[in-house]
A and B are shown apart, each in its own frame.
Chain A
Amino acid sequence: MSQLRIFVVEDDLFYGELLKRHLSLNPDNVVDLFNTGEECLENMHLKPDVVSLDYGLPDMSGLKVMNKVKQEYPDLPFIIVSGQEDVKTAIEILKAGVYDYFVKDKDTKDRLWNAINKIRTHNNLKTELNELKEEVSKKYAFRNILKGNSTAIQQVFGLMQKAIKSNITVSISGETGTGKELVAKAIHYNSPRKKKPFIAINVAAIPNELIESELFGYEKGAFTGANARKIGKFEQASGGTLFLDEIGEMDANMQAKLLRAIQEKEITRIGGNQLIKVDTRLIVATNRDLARELSKGLFREDLYYRLLGLPIELPPLRQRGNDILLLSKHFTREFCHENSVPTKGITEEAQNKLMKYAYPGNVRELSSIIELAVVMSDSDLIDENHINFSASNIAIDFLLEETTLLEYERKIIKYYLEKNNKNVVLTANKLGIGKSTIYRMIKESQI
């Protein structure tokens, strides 16, 4: 349990002293007693966690004290303990935004004790939440989420630095698996908005008819099944960041509504009339070429330019050179740690194999390849046999080698021979070549 500093402001010396002694029974409470509102105001530098205030103080009313303090400490909880029993006073006090209010009677002791314990729990949760937010921020430190020394990735770091210093909309493009959402999170958690929510939504994953209610929410009774008000993602992310992934999939009707929300910085829930101001930073991502979609008339020009903001293009892994090895070693360490095995090395042959592959699934694919390799390897080394690429990507792998036509021919024939259990006739038929060609290559040890 954490320590809680409590101010008891009570003009009745006897009653105040009793409350002080009672609350001090909990060794985690530090209680200060003041007899006037002025004394309370003069001691606010002690930074109390809660103030228990008598409604009728000699120099000013409890509410006046509270309103003065709230100007500087708006989140500080106040408990008003009052001898006033009339309903009008109770309503006035509750309307003023006090945490709790009770009349002095025989149950005051228990009510005050419970209210203070609730505040302690709330404060503990708040502290825990802030610590978790800090941890998340550290987790999303640039160097922790995007690993690499290649020029391509260094340029991305440079753009991300610019993005965190402003509120500009960021548009992230890149092939699947390049880490678009991670970059969006890193920008958010390194920006001044980091203590507010990061809300991610995949436009392609939500049916067109539902996207509006997801983004803008709805009022109770807006349509059949709307049994209660729902707050949309735009509102949830106010003060923070809304990440719209696969924005290129948004239909024309919704594009118009999104444009309005961005331009006006306000939204209306479905079925509602009220305009709700939002302060939401947008980060969008796509693996489509939006400029091409624009020319085909599939994406609104006005929205395109609104969303373009600061464009960040994530390079495919195959263009990041030695980052492949750097990432491979990082993933190896990570997976070995997760599986509680000593960190494995990667043989030179395995490294060569990794460097030659095209990675159509980019970093995500490399991560899976390494995870499998860690599992397959029984020793402290990962060798080339542990590196398995998806068969569907072999063709791209061939093309990346940039070799001679003759060499491509040899590789293709070898690949199909192995696939057909070394059946020369079947292979020759499938490839539309003479079986003598294959026999000659075998004889000359070309395959």
Chain B
Amino acid sequence: MEPPAYSRLSLMKEYLGDDPIQIKEMVQLFLETYPIDIHELEQACLDRNYSILQKTAHRLKSSVQLFNLDDAREILVTIEMSAMNEGAFSTFLPLIQQFKSLMETEVKNIQTEIQLL
């Protein structure tokens, strides 16, 4: 199995002292929590709630950054800023969809790296 071009887990290793058990546990926690956040983003969009949109995007961007997922983070920054400026709700759903599909790919990459630990 080919290792990915760059490591999604490098920061996790730095934070957790290169301990594979701890890294696996934290990845598991991330995989369990980020879909909840995506659901919250979608719901906030439907509820037309800028505040929750902004807060959830803000919270999620820090976690995403810890896996070096810069593109995913950029999408969340856009959602956060747009919500702060009360942008058109029609623009949010496509961004959330884009984030979702990007995460599906990245999660596969993360899981590949986990197997290499």
Interface residues of A (CB under 8 A from B): 11-15, 17-18, 21-22, 25, 56, 58, 83, 104-106, 109
B49 at the interface (CB under 8 A from A): no
B62, A104: Cβ atoms under 8 Å?
yes
In Å, the complex CA distance between A86 and B94 comes to: 27
B14 CB contacts on chain A under 8 angstroms: 109
Counting from the closest, the 9 A-B pairs by CB-CB distance are A22-B15, A104-B62, A12-B59, A14-B63, A14-B30, A83-B58, A14-B33, A25-B17, A15-B62
**Given A17-B29, A18-B26, does the pair A12, B62 have CB atoms closer than 8 Å?**
yes
Give every chain A residue within 8 A of B55 (Cβ-Cβ): 56, 58
A18, B66: Cβ atoms closer than 8 Å: yes
Min C-beta distance of A14 to chain B, whole Å: 5
Q: Is there an interface contact between B63 and A12, defined as CB atoms closer than 8 Å?
A: yes
B29 touches A13 (CB 8 A): yes
Q: Using CB atoms and an 8 Å cutoff, list the residues of chain B in contact with chain A.
A: 11-12, 14-17, 22, 26, 29-30, 33-34, 55, 58-63, 65-66
- Given known pairs A13-B33, A14-B26, A14-B29, the reply for A22 and B63 (CB within 8 Å) is no
Q: Which residues on the B side are within 8 Å of A104 (C-beta)? A: 62, 65
Which of A21, A25, A58 interacts with B26 by CB under 8 Å?
Answer: A21
Is the CB–CB distance between B61 and A83 below 8 Å?
yes
Beta-carbon contact of B11 and A106 below 8 Å: yes
Closest chain B residue to A85, Cβ basis: B77
Are B15 and A105 closer than 8 Å at their CB atoms? Answer: no
Given A14-B26, A104-B65, 18 other A-B residues pairs in contact with their CB atoms under 8 A? A12-B63, A14-B29, A14-B30, A14-B33, A14-B63, A15-B59, A15-B63, A18-B12, A18-B26, A21-B26, A22-B15, A83-B58, A83-B59, A83-B62, A105-B65, A106-B65, A109-B11, A109-B14
Which label, helix, strand, loop or mixed, suits the secondary structure of the B interface? helix
Q: Which residues of the partner chain B approach A58 to less than 8 Å between Cβ atoms?
A: 55
Q: Is the CB of B63 within 8 A of A21?
A: no
Give the nearest-CB partner of B30 in chain A.
A14
Cα(A29)–Cα(B59), bound, Å = 26
Cβ of B14 to closest chain A Cβ, rounded Å: 6
Residues of A within 8 A of B63 (CB): 12, 14-15
Which chain A residues lie closer than 8 Å to B22 at the CB level? 21
Bound-complex Cα distance A17 to B55 (A): 19
Closest A-chain residue to B61, C-beta based?
A: A83
Contacts of B33 in A (CB 8 A): 13-14
**Are B62 and A21 in contact (CB-based, < 8 A)?**
no
The answer on a CB contact under 8 Å between B29 and A11 is no
Inter-chain CA distance A104–B29, complex, in Å, is 19
Give the nearest-CB partner of B57 in chain A: A83
Do B66 and A15 touch (CB < 8 A)? yes
Residues on the A chain within 8 Å of B59, using CB: 11-12, 15, 56, 83
Q: 6 A-B pairs, CB-CB below 8 angstroms? A: A15-B63, A17-B29, A18-B12, A18-B15, A56-B55, A106-B65
Cβ–Cβ contact B58 & A22, under 8 A: no
CB distance from A149 to the nearest CB of B (A): 65
**In the complex, what distance in Å separates the CA atom of A219 from the CA atom of B74?**
52
Contact residues in B for A12 (Cβ distance below 8 Å):
59-60, 62-63
CB-based nearest A residue for B60: A12
Report chain B residues within 8 Å CB of A22. 15-16
Q: Which residues of B contact A17 (CB under 8 A)?
A: 26, 29
Chain B: minimal CB distance from A85 (Å) = 10
Chain B residues whose C-beta falls within 8 Å of the C-beta of A13 in the assembled complex: 29, 33
Min CB–CB distance B54 → chain A (angstroms): 9
List the B residue with the shortest CB-CB distance to A58: B55
